[in-house]
Amino acid sequence: MEILEATEFDIPAILTFGHYFHDISDYGKFQTYDHKGLKKNLFDVIQNPDASMWVAWDNNKLAGAIMGMLIPNFYDPSQIMAECGFLAVLPKYGSKHIGKKLRHLFEQWAVNSGASILMYSGYSRKFITALKREDFTQTEVTLMKKVEK
């Protein structure tokens, strides 16, 4: 297993990987999977110094990925928050603690970049419980509704 900072050469694998997770989640109820638009967004993230993306490779197979960015704290703009945009690990690699290793790299980057608050969104009870064991506090629940124009 090799974990590296993502480069533009990882984008095709990330797109396929992301499509898998989009298909098994409820996101499809609210948003399409725009392959071309996402490709540009991933390239922009890789080029952005206020964002970070890491990929975990098992030989030639993408096993996991994490992406996040720095944002000002809305309530106190003197503080910087690091918000994880996505963390995904293929189920067969869950027992190898890849998610935890990816989070560690993201969090290390965030702190080194000046973040004083780390923020994750998650829908699995297992993920939420694991973060609570690491002194994270659940502060909200994310809800979505698609509206017609």
Question: Tens digit of pLDDT for each residue in 93-114?
Answer: 877 899 999 999 999 999 999 9
44 within domain boundaries = yes
Domain extent for 29: 2-133
148 within domain boundaries = no
Q: What is the pTM of this model?
A: 0.88
141 within domain boundaries = no
What amino acid is encoded at 67 in this protein?
M
147 within domain boundaries = no
110 within domain boundaries = yes
CATH number, domain with residue 19: 3.40.630.30
Taking phi over 0 as left and psi of -120 to 50 as alpha, with beta for the rest, 135 belongs to: left
* Residues lower than pLDDT 50 in the chain: none
Total domains present in the chain: 1
- The position carrying tokens 């629940």 is 141
- The position carrying tokens 């994270």 is 136
149 within domain boundaries = no
